[in-house]
Every structure is written in structure tokens, then in C-alpha cells.
Amino acid sequence: MESVSSPKFLSSLLLFLILSFLLALASASLASQGKALLQWKASLQSQGSLESWNLSTSPCNWTGITCNITHQGRRVIREIKLSQMGLAGTLNALNFSPLSSLVSLNLTFNNFYGSIPTTIAALSKLTSLDLCTNSFTGIIPLQIGSLTKINSLNLSDNQISGSIPPSLSNMTRLNFLYLFGNNLSGSVPEELGRLENLLELVISNNQLAGSIPPTLGNLTRLQELDCENNEISGSIPPELGNLVNLDILGLDNNNLTGFIPHSLGNLTKLNALYLWGNHLSGSIPPEIGNLVELTGLSLSQNSLMGSIPTSFGNLTKLNIMLLWGNHLSGTIPREIGNLVNLTNLDMSENHLNGSIPKSIGNLTKLKILYLFENQIFGSIPRELGNLTKLNSLWLNRNQISGPIPPSFGCLINLTDLILFNNRLSGSLPREFNNIINLKRLDLTNNNFSGHLPHDICKGGVLAHLTLNNNYFEGPIPKSLKNCTSLRRVRLEHNQLSGDISENLGVYPHLLYIDLSFNRLSGKLRPNWGGCHNLSFFGISNNKVTGNIPPEFGKLTQLQVLDLSSNNLLGEIPKDLSKLTHLYNLNLSSNQLVGEVHPEFGELYNLGTLDLSANQLIGRVPEQLGNCLKLYLLKLGKNHLNGSIPFQIGNLINLDDFLDLSHNSFTGEIPSQFGKLDKLQNLNLSHNELIGHVPHSLSDMIGLSSIDLSYNELEGPLPHSSIFQNAPVDWFIHNKGLCGAVKGLPSCGSFTTSKDDSTKHHKLLLLITIPGLGTLFLLFLFVVFALLILRRKKHARLVATIEFGGFSIWNFDGIDAYKGIIEATEDFDDKYCIGTGAYSSVYKALLPSGEFVAVKKFHPLEFENSPSMQTFWSEVQALTQIRHRNIVKLYGFCSSAQNKFLVYEYMERGSLANILQSEGALEFDWSKRIGVIKHIAYALSYMHHDCTPPLVHRDMTSNNVLLDSEYKACISDFGIARLLKPDSSNWSMLAGTRGYLAPELAYTMRVTEKCDVYSFGVIALEIVMGKHPGELIFALSSPIGKNTFLKDILDSRLSPPTTQVANELVTVVMTAFKCLDNSPHSRPTMQIVSQQLSIFKAQPNSQPLDMIKLCHLIDAKV
């Protein structure tokens, strides 16, 4: 036996002790790592699938943990992969120090939150860090840059904010950097250009700004650069052309400007180039045609000009080419026909012209072809019938003519065929019946004729059928009767005939149907009550007979019901009162009988009620006064009787028409009608009304016409401009009306009796008049004497003026003068609220407690100075007019010391100041539209209700004042001019630059159309929040006209709601008409005010985001 002290034994013992020590050391290291992980687990709110993490098992056996043995023989945790474990919590309790051996940490798709700890820098051996798709917040810690061995960093899809730290440039081994889907801001660090090993850089969907660093051109190994959906500005650096290995370049949806660099043509390995949604300009470089590996190309929604390069014909691998929403011109290159792999081709919303090239018929893989909103002409090539895989074809808004080719019958996969607003003609080909998958067919506004295809709904999937404004004839196809997929049908304005009761069925999904202006006959069937989602039903101007089915009362979503101009019989069903969403009810021009049901007063959303031209009898129910949203009420040409309910006067939103004519109404005109101050047209003619015309009708300041003829009215007409300037035809055939209307007797010419007492009265007058005359002359002498004495002591003050039929505020002149001098402390500057060329405006608090605005004219030596002329022009103008939207003149003073005007005080000041201040944020879209309407009403009154017409000549946003409720009033009539029929109305150039009509520069002739132009400028100024001078200039170019409406709206306000958006479209459309360079082409202000009053009922066919200014400029108002 060997001795225990032998060398061999000792060496074995030593080896055993060393191994034991190393194993103990390894166990201690693994234990400390496990302890750190268990402490972190305990801090989590949701621990998901971490049940195996416990002290009874080795950490190497835990879920998501991978261990490794070091070269020293130690077992350590190498990877932690806890992806999609349902974990929730923070990393604050995780001690990274024991985990220094970790090379991979993956916590993706959990619900971790809080910030990324700076102590993560302890993971010095980490090569992969993936924390994507959690809820981490805070900033990217600078210390993360010390992880120099890392080759993949993924922090995407979190809520991380702050900037990208330049320290990331220390990660020189980095191949993949993913930071997309966060809230990162600031600029892209130029230091990232040092990461020469980077293969993929994805920083999209953040809030990054600044420009793209040219240093990124150093990343020559880069295969993907994705910066989309940020706020990056500046131009695209030409240095990006150095990235010759690039496979994907995504810079879309930013604020990039300038040209597309020609150097991008060097990227011959590029598979996808996305530059859409920027502000790029210039032409498309022909070098893009060198990118023969491209499968996706999107340059849409920029301002690119010029033609489409013919070199695009080289891009034969393209699947998608999107060029829409630019200013491209010229013809579509026939070389596009080489792109045989295309599935999506969109060149819409440009200025392309010429015909559709036949070579497009080679693109047999095409599924989407959009060429709409260009200037394409010629016919549709029959070769398009080769595109048998086509799903969607949109050629609308062009100038395409001729018929639809029979080859379209081969497009059996077509679901959308949109051809509206062209010049297409002829019959639809018989082969059209083969398109059985059609879901949407829109041929509106063409010249099509012939019969509709009898199997148009053969496939049973047709949802949208819009064929209105054509010349189609014959019956409605029978295949529509069982076409339950229908959602929207528009066949109005054709020449269709036949019995609707036979060809139409029940449509559970139908929302809208309009069959108006055809030659349809038959009866309305009760089964229409089964269309429960219907919101619009129109069949006016046809030959429909029979009764209105009571089942229409089941259409609880109905908003518009128009059955007018048919041959309908019977009574109006009481069930219609259940349609509480109804906005427009028009049953006029039928043969309906019976009474107007009181229950109609429950239609609280009703805006239009037209029951005229029927055979209705009985009284008008007073409950109609509850329909407070009514803006049009027509009950004329019936057999209604009794008195007119005074409750009609509660309908204060009536602004278009109130027609009760051609009935048998008795009694007096209700004085409550005076509350209808928005109403423009009132017709009470051909009734049996008696008594006087109420003086309260003078308060109906919106009236442009009133017809009281053929009644039994008597007495004087009210003293307001609408009556004084009216034609006599409005008042003829009454019992005894009198007034200042040419053709009516003056009220002083009537005698009270013709009996013997007349002689006595005459004798009394002969005795009395000379005596009264003597007394009157004596009175005048005393008054003049007193005036001469007072002139020496006091300023000559005119405080009460009888002019134009009304009094300016009646108060004692001397007391008022003293009150104004005291209130302004003799016009101290601290009370001054505005200064102009000829005057300053002061705010004064009178002893009565009322604020007034005092416009004091600057003193000048000569009485015939411009200041004096301005003063007397304003007095003359404002003493002859009265309108709720024209500032009130309370009085004026003209003395050697002072000349001033006393006005109504408008709390919010001028429109210009509001638009330029923080007050613009409170000045929301509804208020702005209201102000535009107020200005229009005032100008319409001045131009059309004043005799002679009054032209303002200096309409600007500074001369529009707003009160606390945002009621607008026109002010500053210092250069206003009365247009006299015997005058040439030539004038020195006056007004404010930027608002002057262009013709004044060369004609110097003042007309109402000068104010119309200024109104157009102000309307756009209100919509844009700034003066529209640049826009008006830009509209002379194609680029300006193709600006989107949404891009000119005041960006300080939230986008308008749908209803307000509809009104805004009409406002802008009307403003453009007012800005026509030709004064003869501009509408009158009367037409403008009428248009702005009725636009609430006109929905837009396009969403606001899709509307361009050219659509509104060319539209008919």
C-alpha cells in the first residue's frame, strides 16, 4: 500500500480541493443570480408563468432561463427570454450586477412599465436587448451606450420619450437598432453615422424633428432605413445615394421639402421606396428608373410636377406604384404597360391629360387602377377588358367620352366601378350583366342612355348603385327587387319609368334611396316600412299614386322624406309624427286631403316642412310652434282656415321661407311674427286677413320679400325699409293699405267721413290754421334766438336726428356732451382703444351706466379736409340705415373744438384683433360661420334694401366689430358711397390694400361688386385665421388650386365636425365666387346671403380631407 504522504496522493488531494472550491464558487454565483431574479419576481404585479422560479430548483431549470458553463467551469445564466409571459411590473427591483454574464435579455410582449434603469449598463456582455411591445416610459438612459458588445437593440412599441442619446454611437458592433413606435422627439443624432456595422435602422412612428443627418450616408452596409411617420423636415440628403446595399428606404409621412435627389438612382438593390406624404417638389428624377429591383414605389401626396418618366418602364418587378395627389402633368407613358407585375396602380389627383394608353391592358395582374381626378380625355380603351383580376376601377372626374366597351364584361372580379363626372355616353353593354361581383357602381353625371342591365344585381352583393343625372330610361331592373345587399341607391334625374310597386322590395341594409325626377308610376307599398335603417327616401317629381302607407312611421332613422310633386291621395298618416329624427318633410304638390296633425309638433328636429299645393283643410295646429329648428315652412295653396296661430312666431330660426298664401286664413297677422328676424321671405297673400299690418314686422330685419296682397288689410304700413322700398304688387287688393309705397295712397290722404260734418271741419280748419301758423312762426323765432345764444356758450351738438324714418338715441345734447367729455377725461389716451388715419376711438362709461364707443376725428384746419369729408360721410350713411348687423350710431357732435360720433360699444373689438390674438381659440367654427353670415346679411341690406344702394368701399376685418355674443356689426362708413342712379359713381381710389377689388385699379368705378370682392377676402380670412393674400395669389397656378381645403383651415382650431364641415365647404365655395376677377361674374350679396342661409341642408359627397380647392372653385353654388 502506498504511503499517504506519497507525491501522487498529495497531487490528487490538491486537485480535489481546487475542484471543490470552484464548484462551491460556481454554486455561489448561480445562487446570487437566482436570488436577484426571485427578488425581482416578488415585485411583479402579475407573475404570469413563473411558477418554476423557486428555491427548490436550480435557476438553470427555470422557465425562460438558459445557463452556460464558463471556461472556469462556472455555471451562469446566459439568456433570459420571457416573451409573451403575461408579466406586469417594473425593472426597478431587478439587480443587474449579479447578471453580468448575461448576453441576451428578451422581455417582449408583456406589460412592463416605468423607466429603463440606468443600472442596466452593468450587463457589459450583453449582445441582444429586446424590450419591445411593453409600456416603458421615461427616456433612453445615456448609460445604455456603454453596452459596447451589443449587436441588436430593440426598444420599439413602448411609450419612451425624450431624444435619441448620441451615446448609442458607442455601440459600434450594432447591426439592428429598432426604436419605432415611441414618443421620441428631437433630431436624429448625426453620431449615428458612426455605426458602420448597422444593417437596419428603424426609428419610425415617433415625433422626431429636424433634418436627416447627411452622416447616415456613411452606413454603407445598411439594408433598411425607416424614418416614416415623424416630423422630420429639410431636404433628402444626396448622401443617401451612398447606401448601395439598401433594400428598404422609408421616409414617408414627414415634412420633407426640396427635390428628390438624383443620387437615389444609385440604390440598385432597393426593393421599396416610400417618400409619400411630404412636401417634395420638382420633377421625378428619371434615374428612379434604374431601380430595377423595386417592388413598391410610393411618391404620392407631395407637390411633384412634370411628367412621369418613361424610364419607369424599366421597373418590371413593381407590384405597387402610387403617384397620386401630386401636380404631375403630361400623358401617361405607354411604357407603363411594361410593368406586368403591377397589382396596384394609382395616379389619381394629378393633372395628367391625353388618353388612357392601350398598353395598360398588358397589366393582367392588376387589381386596383385609380386614374380619377385628372384631365384625361378620349375613350376607354377596350384593352382594359384584359384586366380580368381587376377589383377596383376608378376613372371619375375626368373628361372621358364615348361608351363603356363591351370588353368590360370580362372583368368578372370587378367590385368597384366608379366613372362619375365624365362625358361618357351610350347604352351600357349587354355584357355588363357578367360583372356579378359588383358591389359599387357609380356612373353619376354622364350622358348614358338606354335601359339599365336587367341582371345588375345578379351576384347579390351590390351595395352602392348611383346612376343619377343621366338619361337612362325604361323600368327599374327586376333583379333589384331581391337585392337585399343594397345600402345606397341614387337613380334621380333620369327618364326611368314603370311601376315601382313591382320592381322594388325590402332592403334591411338600405340607408339612402332617391328616385326623384323620373317617370315612375305605381303605389308606395307598405313593405317600405321594413327598411329600418333608411335615413333618406326621395321619390319626388314622378307619377306615383295612392296613399302614403302608415308603415312609413316605422322608419325611425329617417331624416329626409320627399314625396313631393306626385299624385298621392288620402290623408297624411299620423304615424309620420313618430319620425323624431326627421329633418326634411316635403309632401307638396300632391292631392292630399284632411288636416295637419297636431302631433307633427313633436318633430323637434324638423328643419323643412313643405305641405303646400295640396287640398288640406282645417286649422294650422298651434303645436307647430314647437318645431323650433324649422327654417322653412310652406303651407300655401291649400284650403286651410281659421286664424294663423301666434305660436308660429316662436319659430325664430325660420330664415328661408314662410308661405301661408292661397288659403282661407282669417283674423289678424300675429304681432309675434316680429320675432322672426332671420326670415327672408314671407308670403301671406290670397287669404282673408283683416286689420292693420303689425308695426312689429319692422323688426323682421332679414326680410327681402313680403307679399300681403289679396287680403282685407287696412291702415298704414310699418316704417321700415322693406316696406318703404317694396313694389306695390306686394300690397294690392286689400281694403285700405296706405304708406310710402309708390302706387299706394299716402296715409294723410284718407278722410274720415263725407257727411255734413266735413263742411264744419273745413270751416274750423280755415279759422284755426292761420292762428296756428302765426303761433308756429313766433315759436320758430324764439327757438332760433335761443339757438344763437346757446351757440355762443356751447358746442353745436346734434343729439337727436329725424332722418330716414327713425330717431337716433334721444337724449339731451348738452348733458350727453358733458358726460362724454367727463367719461373720457377730455379724451385722455388711457381711454383710447384704437387709432386710424382720421380718427381715434375711445371707450366711455356714461352716467347712465352704459358703455359707448366715441370716435373722435383728428382736428384739421380746413372744413373740406379728408377728415371732415369722412365725418359727414359716416353721419350721412348711418342716419339712413338700420340693421342688426350694422353698428348703431347713437349721436354725433360737430363743434369748433370737437367732432365725434357716439356708437354702440362692441365688447370684443374688431374681427382682425380676435383672429390675431389668443381669442381666436374661443372663436370656434360655428361662431366664425355665424360672423360670416352676419356680414353677408348686412351687406345684402345695404346693397338691396337701401334706396339708393349703399356701398361700404372699405370692408376689412378691422371694420367688423363683435359683441360679447359674437354678433358681428359692420362699422366705419367714412368712405361709404350712395350709388345714385343719375351718377357715374366714379371715384378716387379708396379702401384698404388686400381687400380692394382688382377692377378698381383701372376703372375707378365704385359698384356693389367691390364690396362683394372684399366680403370674399374676409370670409377666407375668418376660415384661415389670417389674411388670404398669398392663397389668392396662389390660386392663379395649378399648385394653388390643388391645395387641400383642410390645409388652409385655421390650424389653431380642432377639425370641424361633419355638420360644420358641410357649412365650411359652402362658405369657402361662396367666397371663391366672390373673388372672381370679373365683377359681372360675382354673385350679388343678396344671393350670397341666401346661399349661406340654406347651406345647412346640403351634405357633402366627399369627406373634408379629400376636398381640394379646385373642386370648390369650379363648383356651382
Structural class in CATH, domain 29-137:
alpha beta
Instruction: Give the CATH number of domain 526-738.
Output: 3.80.10.10
At 804 the pLDDT is 29
pLDDT category, 805, cuts 50, 70, 90? very low
More confidently predicted of 817 and 784? 817
At 880 the pLDDT is 63
Give the mean pLDDT of 335-364.
Answer: 97
Distance CA 243, CA 251 (A): 14
Residue 357 preceded by cis peptide, ω within 30: no
Of 302, 347, 308, 306, the closest CA to residue 324 belongs to: 347
For the cut 80, the answer to whether the pLDDT of residue 751 exceeds it is: no
What's the pLDDT tens digit per position in 181-220? 999 999 999 999 999 999 999 999 999 999 999 999 999 9
Contact 470, 443 (CB under 8 A): yes
CATH classification for the domain delimited by 909-1114, as one of 1.10.510.10, 3.30.160.270, 1.20.1730.10, 3.10.20.30 = 1.10.510.10
At 1075 the pLDDT is 93
Angle 7-12-17 from CA coordinates, rounded to 5°: 125
Domain spans, the chain = 29-137, 140-328, 526-738, 806-904, 909-1114
Give the mean pLDDT of 915-926.
Answer: 86
State the chain's mean pLDDT as an integer. 86
For the cut 60, the answer to whether the pLDDT of residue 764 exceeds it is: no
Distance CA 657, CA 670 (A): 17
More confidently predicted of 1103 and 700? 700
Of 953, 937, 956, the closest CA to residue 945 belongs to: 937
What is the grid cell recorded at 452? 339599365
How many Cβ atoms sit within 10 Å of the Cβ of residue 3?
8
Give the mean pLDDT of 1099-1113.
Answer: 74
Give the mean pLDDT of 155-169.
Answer: 97
β strands within 17-166, DSSP E: 46-47, 65-69, 75-81, 87-89, 104-106, 111-114, 128-130, 135-136, 152-154
Task: Mean pLDDT check: name the lowest of 538-552, 566-580, 762-776.
Answer: 762-776
Distance CA 337, CA 354 (A): 16
DSSP secondary structure of 93-134? T---GGGTT--EEE--SSEEEEPPPGGGGG-TT--EEE--SS
For the cut 50, the answer to whether the pLDDT of residue 749 exceeds it is: yes
Q: Are strands 909-910 and 545-547 parallel, antiparallel or unpaired?
A: unpaired
Please name the residues in contact with 112: beta carbons below 8 A apart, sequence gap of 6 or more: 87, 88, 89, 90, 91, 131, 134, 135, 136
Q: pLDDT above 70 covers what percent of the chain?
A: 85
pTM for the complete prediction?
A: 0.68
Of 945, 879, 957, 871, the closest CA to residue 912 belongs to: 957
Per the annotation, the verdict on 954 as an active-site residue is yes
Task: Mean pLDDT check: name the lowest of 32-46, 512-526, 1091-1105.
Answer: 1091-1105
At 14 the pLDDT is 52
At 1101 the pLDDT is 53
What's the pLDDT tens digit per position in 558-596? 999 999 999 999 999 999 999 999 999 999 999 999 999
For the cut 60, the answer to whether the pLDDT of residue 752 exceeds it is: no
Give the best-scoring range by mean pLDDT among 483-487, 884-888, 1038-1042.
Answer: 483-487
Please name the residues in contact with 1072: beta carbons below 8 A apart, sequence gap of 6 or more: 1016, 1035, 1109, 1112, 1113
Give the mean pLDDT of 86-105.
Answer: 95
Task: Mean pLDDT check: name the lowest of 399-408, 480-489, 847-856, 861-870.
Answer: 861-870
For the cut 90, the answer to whether the pLDDT of residue 650 exceeds it is: yes
Give the mean pLDDT of 390-409.
Answer: 96
What's the pLDDT tens digit per position in 113-131? 999 999 999 999 999 999 9
For the cut 60, the answer to whether the pLDDT of residue 309 exceeds it is: yes
For the cut 60, the answer to whether the pLDDT of residue 713 exceeds it is: yes
The annotated binding site is made up of: 856
pLDDT category, 471, cuts 50, 70, 90? very high
Same fold for the domain at 29-137 and the one at 526-738? yes
The annotated binding site for ATP is made up of: 856
What is the grid cell recorded at 739? 304708406
Give the mean pLDDT of 451-476.
Answer: 94
Name residue 410's amino acid. C
Please name the residues in contact with 492: beta carbons below 8 A apart, sequence gap of 6 or more: 468, 469, 514, 515, 516, 517, 518, 538
Give the mean pLDDT of 538-549.
Answer: 96
DSSP secondary structure of 1036-1103? TSHHHHTSBGGGTS-TTSPPPPHHHHHHHHHHHHHHHHHT-SSGGGSPPHHHHHHHHHHGGG---SS-
Distance CA 99, CA 78 (A): 8
For the cut 90, the answer to whether the pLDDT of residue 1043 exceeds it is: no
At 305 the pLDDT is 96
At 29 the pLDDT is 81
Task: Mean pLDDT check: name the lowest of 41-45, 282-286, 880-884, 1097-1101.
Answer: 1097-1101
β strands within 650-749, DSSP E: 657-659, 664-666, 681-683, 690-691, 705-707, 712-716, 736-738
More confidently predicted of 758 and 834? 834
Contact 304, 326 (CB under 8 A): yes
Q: Are strands 296-298 and 320-322 parallel, antiparallel or unpaired?
A: parallel
For the cut 50, the answer to whether the pLDDT of residue 844 exceeds it is: yes
Please name the residues in contact with 225: beta carbons below 8 A apart, sequence gap of 6 or more: 201, 216, 219, 240, 243, 246, 248, 249, 250, 251
- The CA–CA distances, whole Å, from 719 to 224, 609, 694, 741, 808 equal 79, 31, 11, 11, 15
Contact 437, 415 (CB under 8 A): yes
Give the mean pLDDT of 151-166.
Answer: 97
- From the list 226, 416, 954, 972, the catalytic residue is 954
Q: pLDDT above 90 covers what percent of the chain?
A: 65
- What torsion, rounded to 10 degrees, do the Cα atoms 932, 938, 939, 945 define? 150
Angle 944-949-950 from CA coordinates, rounded to 5°: 115
Contact 609, 634 (CB under 8 A): yes
- What torsion, rounded to 10 degrees, do the Cα atoms 176, 179, 185, 187 define? 10
pLDDT category, 1031, cuts 50, 70, 90? confident
Number of H helices, E strands in the chain: 14, 66
Q: In a 3-state reduction of DSSP, which class is residue 1001? A: helix
At 921 the pLDDT is 83
Instruction: Determine the topology of domain 806-904 in CATH.
Output: Phosphorylase Kinase; domain 1 (3.30.200)
For the cut 70, the answer to whether the pLDDT of residue 810 exceeds it is: no
Instruction: Determine the topology of domain 140-328 in CATH.
Output: 3.80.10
At 592 the pLDDT is 97
pLDDT category, 1107, cuts 50, 70, 90? confident
At 759 the pLDDT is 38
Give the best-scoring range by mean pLDDT among 248-257, 722-731, 985-994.
Answer: 248-257
At 860 the pLDDT is 54
Angle separating helix axes 925-944 and 1008-1024, nearest 10 degrees: 180
